A = this chain, B = another copy of it.
Amino acid sequence: MPPFVKDTVTLLEQLSQRRPQRADAARNFDALLTAARAAFDELGADAPLEDIARRAHVGIATLYRNFPTREELIDAVYAAEVDGICAAAGEHDDPWSELVRWVELLVDRLGNAQALAPGLATSSASRAALWAAGAQLLARAIAAGEVYPKVEVDDLMRLVVGVVAMFATDQQQRDRVLGVILDGIRTPPPPLPK
C-alpha cells in the first residue's frame, strides 16, 4: 500500500472499533444495523428509532447506547457502501471523464442508499469520506484545465447530493439535471489552431 494512503482508514474499520466486546452486546449491535437498514429501506431516513429497536428485539436504550444520534446510525448502516464509492474514485481515464464517471456512479449508488442522501447535507463521517474522494478527482480535473478553477469541492458535492435528494423519483430528469451541472462546471474547449 503506498504510503500516502496509510492514514486512510475505511469507515468499516472505524465501525468495527465501536463494536462491543461482549458477545451479547456484539449480537445486539449487529441486529440493530440489520434492522436499521431494513427500516431505512422501507420507511426512509426518518424511520422511528423505536421501530428499529423493536425489529432488532432490543430495548430503545441499547440503540441509543450504540448510536447516540440518528446520524451515527445512518453512517454505520451505509459504511460499506460509502467505502465502496470512495474506493471507486480511481485515476484510470483522463481527468474529466474520470470525474464524470465517478459522479454518475455516486448518483447511482446513492439512489439505492436513499436514506443516506439527506444526512449528507450536514457533517457526518460519510460526508467527509465522500468529499475527500471528490476533492481528488476535482483537483485533477481543474489541474487539467477541464473545470473552472473557481469551482470548489463543496459546490460540486452538495449539488450532486442535492440532485439525488431532490430528483429522487424521475431518473430521466435526474440525469438531465446532472448533465446541466456538469456542463456548467466545465471550461469551454479551446478554439482550434488555424
Q: Please list the residues of chain A having a beta carbon within 8 angstroms of any beta carbon in chain B.
A: 121, 150-152, 154-155, 158-159, 162-163, 166-167, 173, 176-177, 179-185, 188
Contacts and interface: CB of A to CB of B under 8 A. Distances in A.
Given A158-B166, A158-B167, A162-B166, A188 B185 contact: no
For the complex, would chain A's binding face be called helix, strand, loop or mixed by DSSP majority? helix
B159 A177 contact: yes
A176 B155 contact: yes
Give the number of copies in the complex.
Answer: 2
B184 A180 contact: yes
Contacts of A121: 166
Contact of A150 (B155, B163, B176): B176
Contacts of A181: 180-181, 184
Nearest to A170: B154
